[in-house]
């Protein structure tokens, strides 16, 4: 069965890439290791899982390269300092912020839904509600045209 959409994107492989990216960003945040080392470690494991390796690398490198900008952009939507946010939720927020700000090809609803599902799987019991609230406010501002158009439907 072909899971690819007409645009050639395999949503299952993308979801797996996001889950692996969360694990990689989480490990990178905690260890302070070089991002290339973290990518190598997780890319090897990911190859066995049929994930979108290109998307995985884009997410992890994007968070690394834009971390300061992403953290600053998220700050108005947080109720505490970014470093005080649970590490799983922080990694998820950074990945989703990267997608919202740098991947306009991915609909904001997909970004938010994937972030929520990832936190439900790996995060604290109610972490997904916090992530949902932050990202919903962020999307309303960063993707205002898309966000407002979806609310009119």
Q: 45: domain range?
A: 11-152
Q: Residue 4 domain-assigned?
A: no
Global pTM reads: 0.90
- Please compute the mean of the pLDDT values over residues 105-121 and round it to a whole number: 96
Give residue 2's pLDDT band: very low, low, confident or very high (50, 70, 90).
very low
pLDDT at 34: 84
Higher confidence at residue 143 or residue 33? 143
pLDDT at 1: 39
Q: Residue 109 is part of a domain; what is its CATH number?
A: 1.10.940.10
Q: Residue 44 domain-assigned?
A: yes
Q: How many domains does the chain have?
A: 1
Backbone angles phi, psi at 18, to 5 degrees: -65, -40
Neighbours of 106 (CB within 10 A): 16
- What residues have CB less than 8 Å from 63, skipping those under 6 apart? 21, 25, 70, 91, 94, 95, 98
- Please compute the mean of the pLDDT values over residues 46-52 and round it to a whole number: 64
Q: Residue 139 domain-assigned?
A: yes
- What region, left, alpha or beta, does residue 50 occupy, with left being phi > 0 and alpha being psi -120 to 50 degrees? left
pLDDT tens by residue, 64-84:
999 999 999 999 999 999 999
pLDDT at 138: 98
What's the mean per-residue pLDDT of the chain? Answer: 89
Evaluate whether 114 touches 139 at the Cβ level (below 8 Å): no
Q: Which of 80, 84, 23 is nearest to 49 (CA)?
A: 23
Evaluate whether 14 touches 113 at the Cβ level (below 8 Å): no
């Amino acid at each position: 069965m072909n899971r690819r959409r007409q645009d050639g994107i395999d949503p299952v492989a993308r979801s797996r890439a996001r889950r692996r990216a969360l694990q990689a960003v989480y490990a990178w945040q905690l260890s302070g290791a070089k991002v290339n080392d973290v990518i190598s470690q997780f890319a090897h494991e990911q190859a066995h899982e049929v994930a979108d390796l290109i998307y995985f690398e884009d997410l992890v490198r994007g968070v690394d390269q834009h971390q300061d900008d992403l953290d600053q952009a998220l700050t108005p939507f947080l109720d505490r300092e970014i470093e005080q946010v649970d590490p799983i939720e922080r990694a998820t927020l950074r990945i989703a912020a990267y997608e919202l700000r740098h991947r306009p090809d991915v609909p904001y609803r997909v970004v938010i839904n994937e972030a929520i599902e990832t936190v439900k799987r790996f995060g604290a019991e109610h972490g997904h509600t916090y992530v949902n609230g932050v990202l919903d406010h962020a999307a309303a501002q960063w993707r205002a045209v898309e966000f407002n158009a979806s609310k009119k439907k």
